[in-house]
């Protein structure tokens, strides 16, 4: 059974957020970092220390125009809308 997703903030300032993510790896974080980096005010990256450990680290930096938490909220909302649109398109084609 897959490990449950667990998130803990390791470091946070007005322009930087470092988060430890357990129970998730490349699948979610690659998509999230891609969406974060679409914002011209944000630079994001992640690393997975070892694939068997199931622990990753997400780093979000902003230029101060918005906080890293706000950038994360915007990216998550955008992904949610994109995935919902995809689901609706699939439903329409399979109904």
Look at residue 21 and tell me if it is in a domain: yes
Domain assignment of residue 13, yes or no: yes
Q: CA dihedral in degrees (47, 52, 54, 57; nearest 10)?
A: -20
Provide the number of structural domains found in the chain. 1
- The pLDDT tens digits for 37-57 are 999 999 999 999 887 788 999
Hey, which residues does 19 pair with through a beta bridge?
Answer: 9, 58
Q: CATH code at 89?
A: 3.30.1360.10
Residue 1 included in any domain: no
Give domain status of residue 36, yes or no.
yes
* Dihedral pair phi/psi, residue 33, rounded to 5°: -65, -40
In a domain, 57, yes or no: yes
Domain holding 79, by residue range, is 6-94
If one counts every other C-beta atom within 10 angstroms of the C-beta of residue 17, the result is 21
Q: Is the pLDDT of residue 11 over 70?
A: yes
The mean pLDDT of 9-17, rounded to a whole number, is: 97
Interatomic CA distance for residues 2 and 5, integer angstroms: 9
Residue 37 counted as domain residue? yes
């Amino acid at each position: 059974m897959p490990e449950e997703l667990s998130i803990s903030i390791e470091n946070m300032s007005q322009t930087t957020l470092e988060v430890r993510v357990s129970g998730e790896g490349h699948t979610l974080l690659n998509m999230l970092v891609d969406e974060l980096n679409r914002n011209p005010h944000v630079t994001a990256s992640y690393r997975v220390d070892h694939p068997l450990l199931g622990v990753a680290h997400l780093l979000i930096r902003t230029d101060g125009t918005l906080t890293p938490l706000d950038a994360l909220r915007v990216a998550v909302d955008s992904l949610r809308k994109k995935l919902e649109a995809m689901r609706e398109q699939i439903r329409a084609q399979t109904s």
